[in-house]
């Protein structure tokens, strides 16, 4: 048995032991989920919603325990854990349980009664079957639930693999559902990349993956081999654009929160700020003051792993080595645990790892720009494209600038919090991947469409069935001529006559 993530990033204290699931057991966990799925799907969406609302209460009742577990396991401040993970997850249950029945209602398709007499069609959404949910450690409760809840409500079974860095949080998530769901319907696989890879190769019908670009590529390859779909929510390098007419106090506070919350370990953390030169000094001064006032531990926790802290260190060092750059606050790793001081860096170039690669730490680089156009150009020059924000008192201007940004989510005078809104789609451009989480659009991943057509015609045959005669060919040609806007009016009239006469012949065949 391999023990997972044994030490707390706060102080190195030993944590409750959690073992990786033996690889040989994964196929059985998937098979159990598959066996439980048809009965769950047959229950109907109203009964499924009723069941899951009971799980919501369990989540809320365990809020304190969740806060404590996440604090010890990944260093997240307890209050932040409850605000960013527990309460938004309760919203996820409420939103989906309330709307699933209507969302799964079959929709009628309009068919032209002359071309398709007696026929009616409808589209229904069928569950995919068994969904593998492979998740990272940075929001170890909220991220899995925003997929597990709608995927279950759509009638699927789940096999959930939390990150090897947050196995205790993963266990808690699975326990919310214990004894409420039918046995086997939600399976738990603990382990690292090997377990994730094995799960992708097993008999699952869809993989919903959130994590790094490196692992996301491997998941995409594995799913391509099996010809199953996958949804990928990967990294980010979010930009905040602060325009010359911004509400400076709000922008400074919002940008610091957007960069530092969860110690910057957020796919949608602000990792680049482009500020108009007219207000740059005042804005930077205020951001620096606010950052210096943050309490390490209470406001900004440690990084979850030593490796993560080393990446942050190396990005800051790289930025520091460039002419004109200056550390305005923080800049160093803490002595105890894996902490890093909340840091503000003035930068003059984007040609550094700090401005190009995902830092995932409490570091805010600020670059002064000549105005809106330069800000948009630099913001868009990234391999990622998750979210971006524009800070301005002129909301129309904010929208206009926002529409030029290569980002799946754009917020005007706020940042990133929309990931907590189950109503709003969360998606990105480029290497951020092609997954869509939240909103009714996410159902396209969890369901497959089934089109059913009922034909009530009593005729012995359709027009287009055999025999393929000259009359049928004449009908097809006449239709083409009549429907084309470029056919001269005389030719069109001729085609109408040809059509009538061909029809009469066809009826006698
Ligand atoms: P990671 O890629 O190291 O791990 C993510 C998950 O994938 C883990 O459960 C891991 O065990 C598993 N895994 C690793 N290799 C695998 C493989 N070959 N096949 C299947 N599974 C495999 O990522 P991480 O360090 O845990 O998370 C941080 C990353 O997640 C960051 O890049 C961050 O931006 C991204 N993220 C994105 C979003 C989003 O919504 N776009 C949200 C949160 C985090």
| Rounded CA separation 5/304 (Å) | 10
Determine how β-strand 130-134 pairs with β-strand 363-369: unpaired
Q: Is residue 139 reached through a cis peptide bond, with omega within 30 degrees of 0 on the bond before it? A: no
Instruction: Over range 419-434, report the average pLDDT.
Output: 97
Q: Are 76 and 338 in contact (CB under 8 A)?
A: no
Ligand 1 mean position to 88 CA, how many Å?
Answer: 21
Ligand 1 mean position to 439 CA, how many Å?
Answer: 22
Q: Read off the tokens for 404.
A: 């030029």
Which residue minimizes the CA distance to atom 35 of ligand 1?
211
Ligand 1 mean position to 113 CA, how many Å?
Answer: 51
- Give yes or no for residue 310 having a pLDDT over 80: yes
Ligand 1 mean position to 240 CA, how many Å?
Answer: 24
Task: Give residue 1's pLDDT.
Answer: 66
3-state DSSP assignment of residue 406 = coil
Is 267 catalytic? The answer is yes
Which of 90, 134, 106, 123 has its CA nearest to residue 45?
A: 106
Give the start-end residues of each E strand in 73-205.
107-109, 119-127, 130-134, 157-161, 186-188
Q: Packing angle between helix 63-74 and helix 45-61, nearest 10 degrees? A: 70
Closest ligand 1 atom to Cα of 308: 25
Instruction: Over range 358-387, report the average pLDDT.
Output: 98
Task: List Cα–Cα distances, 234 to 135, 170, 212, 453, in angstroms.
Answer: 11, 19, 5, 39
Write the secondary structure of 461-494 as one string of H (helix), E (strand) and C (coil): CCCCCCCCCHHHHHHHHHHHHHHCCCCCHHHHHH
* Most distant CA atoms of the chain, gap in Å: 93
Q: What is the DSSP letter of 288?
A: H
Order of strands across the sheet that contains 238-242: 326-329, 343-347, 363-369, 270-276, 238-242, 387-391, 409-412
| Rounded CA separation 507/509 (Å) | 6
Least confident of 15-19, 219-223, 237-241, 386-390: 15-19
- Give yes or no for residue 11 having a pLDDT over 90: no
Q: Is residue 234 within 6 Å of ligand 1 at its C-beta?
A: yes
Helix (H) or strand (E) holding 153: helix 142-153
Q: Are 415 and 387 in contact (CB under 8 A)?
A: yes
Pocket test for ligand 1, best of 211, 270, 420 (most atoms within 8 A of CB): 211
Give tens-digit pLDDT for 104-161: 999 999 999 988 999 999 999 999 999 999 999 999 999 999 999 999 999 999 999 9
Q: Is residue 411 within 6 Å of ligand 1 at its C-beta?
A: no
Closest ligand 1 atom to Cα of 235: 34
Task: Give residue 2's pLDDT.
Answer: 82
For every residue of 101-119, DSSP letters joined together read HHHTS-EEE---TTTSTTE
- Give yes or no for residue 5 having a pLDDT over 90: no
Q: Per-residue confidence at 4, pLDDT binned at 50, 70, 90?
A: confident
Ligand 1 mean position to 208 CA, how many Å?
Answer: 11
Q: Are 291 and 260 in contact (CB under 8 A)?
A: yes
Ligand 1 mean position to 135 CA, how many Å?
Answer: 6
| Rounded CA separation 89/326 (Å) | 40
Q: Is residue 467 reached through a cis peptide bond, with omega within 30 degrees of 0 on the bond before it? A: yes
Give tens-digit pLDDT for 451-503: 999 999 999 999 999 999 999 999 999 999 999 999 999 999 999 999 999 99
Q: Is residue 200 within 6 Å of ligand 1 at its C-beta?
A: yes
Task: Give residue 3's pLDDT.
Answer: 82
Which residue minimizes the CA distance to atom 23 of ligand 1?
211
Determine how β-strand 270-276 pairs with β-strand 363-369: parallel
Report the mean per-residue pLDDT for the chain: 96
Token pair 């034909």: residue: 455
Q: Are 479 and 499 in contact (CB under 8 A)?
A: yes
Give tens-digit pLDDT for 354-368: 999 999 999 999 999
Q: Packing angle between helix 213-226 and helix 193-201, nearest 10 degrees? A: 20
Closest ligand 1 atom to Cα of 435: 41
Q: Is residue 146 within 6 Å of ligand 1 at its C-beta?
A: no
Share of the chain above pLDDT 70, in %: 100
Which of 399, 434, 423 has its CA nearest to residue 413?
A: 399
The residues, any chain, with a CB within 8 Å of residue 249's CB and separated by 6 or more, are 286
Q: Is residue 135 within 6 Å of ligand 1 at its C-beta?
A: yes
The residues, any chain, with a CB within 8 Å of residue 321's CB and separated by 6 or more, are none
Which of 414, 405, 413 has its CA nearest to residue 384?
A: 405
What are phi and psi for residue 419, nearest 5 degrees? -60, -20
| Rounded CA separation 29/16 (Å) | 24
pTM (2 d.p.): 0.96
- Give yes or no for residue 391 having a pLDDT over 90: yes
Q: Is residue 430 within 6 Å of ligand 1 at its C-beta?
A: no
Task: Give residue 457's pLDDT.
Answer: 94
| Rounded CA separation 370/375 (Å) | 8
State the sign of the Cα–Cα–Cα–Cα dihedral 392, 396, 399, 403.
Answer: negative
Compute, in degrees rounded to 10, the torsion defined by CA atoms 439, 441, 444, 447: 30
Is 233 catalytic? The answer is yes
Pocket test for ligand 1, best of 4, 85, 136, 217 (most atoms within 8 A of CB): 136
- Give yes or no for residue 95 having a pLDDT over 90: yes
**In 10 A of CB 171, how many CB atoms?**
15
| Rounded CA separation 331/347 (Å) | 13
| Rounded CA separation 157/30 (Å) | 9
Q: Is residue 164 within 6 Å of ligand 1 at its C-beta?
A: yes
Q: Are 134 and 219 in contact (CB under 8 A)?
A: yes
State the sign of the Cα–Cα–Cα–Cα dihedral 310, 314, 315, 316.
Answer: positive
């Amino acid at each position: 048995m391999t023990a997972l993530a044994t030490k707390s990033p706060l102080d190195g204290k030993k944590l409750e032991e959690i073992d990786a699931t033996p690889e040989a057991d994964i196929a059985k966990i998937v098979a159990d989920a598959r066996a439980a799925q048809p009965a769950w799907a047959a229950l109907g969406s109203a009964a499924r919603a009723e069941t899951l609302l009971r799980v919501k209460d369990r989540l809320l009742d365990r809020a304190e325990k969740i806060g404590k577990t996440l604090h010890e396991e990944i260093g997240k401040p307890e209050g932040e854990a409850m605000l960013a993970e527990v309460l938004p997850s309760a919203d996820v249950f409420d939103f989906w349980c309330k709307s699933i029945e209507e969302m799964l209602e079959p929709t009628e398709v309009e068919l032209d009664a002359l071309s398709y007499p007696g026929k009616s069609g409808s589209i229904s959404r069928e569950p995919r079957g068994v969904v593998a949910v492979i998740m990272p450690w940075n929001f170890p409760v909220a991220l899995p639930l925003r997929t597990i809840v709608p995927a279950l409500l759509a009638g699927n079974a789940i096999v959930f693999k939390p990150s090897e860095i947050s196995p205790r949080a993963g266990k808690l998530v699975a326990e919310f559902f214990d004894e409420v769901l039918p046995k086997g319907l939600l399976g738990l696989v603990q382990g690292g990349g090997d377990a994730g890879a094995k799960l992708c190769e097993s008999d699952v019908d869809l993989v919903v993956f959130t994590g790094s670009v490196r692992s996301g590529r491997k998941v995409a390859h594995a799913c391509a081999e099996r010809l199953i779909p996958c949804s990928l929510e990967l990294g980010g390098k979010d930009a905040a654009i602060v325009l010359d007419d911004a509400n400076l106090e709000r922008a400074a506070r919002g940008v610091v929160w957007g960069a530092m919350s969860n110690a910057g370990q957020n796919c949608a953390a602000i990792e680049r700020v482009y500020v108009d030169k007219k207000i740059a000094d005042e804005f930077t001064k205020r951001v620096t003051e606010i950052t210096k006032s943050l309490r390490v531990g209470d406001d900004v926790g440690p990084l979850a792993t030593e490796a993560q802290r080393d990446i942050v260190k190396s990005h800051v060092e790289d930025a520091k080595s460039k002419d004109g750059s200056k550390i305005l606050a923080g800049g160093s790793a803490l002595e105890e645990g894996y902490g890093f001081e909340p840091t503000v860096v003035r930068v003059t170039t984007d040609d550094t790892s700090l401005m190009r690669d995902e830092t995932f730490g409490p570091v805010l680089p600020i670059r002064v720009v000549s105005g809106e156009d330069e800000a948009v150009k630099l913001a868009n020059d990234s391999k990622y494209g998750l979210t971006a924000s524009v800070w301005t008192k002129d909301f129309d201007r904010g929208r206009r600038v926002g529409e030029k940004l290569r980002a799946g989510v754009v917020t005007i005078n706020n940042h990133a919090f929309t990931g907590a809104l189950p109503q709003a789609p969360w998606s990105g451009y480029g290497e951020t991947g092609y997954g869509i989480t939240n909103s009714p659009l996410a159902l396209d991943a969890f369901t497959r469409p089934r089109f059913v057509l009922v034909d009530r015609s009593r005729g012995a045959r359709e027009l287009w069935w055999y025999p393929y005669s000259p009359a049928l060919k004449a009908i097809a040609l006449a239709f083409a001529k009549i429907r084309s806007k470029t056919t001269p009016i005389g030719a069109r009239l001729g085609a109408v006559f040809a059509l009538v006469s061909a029809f009469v012949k066809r009826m006698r065949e």
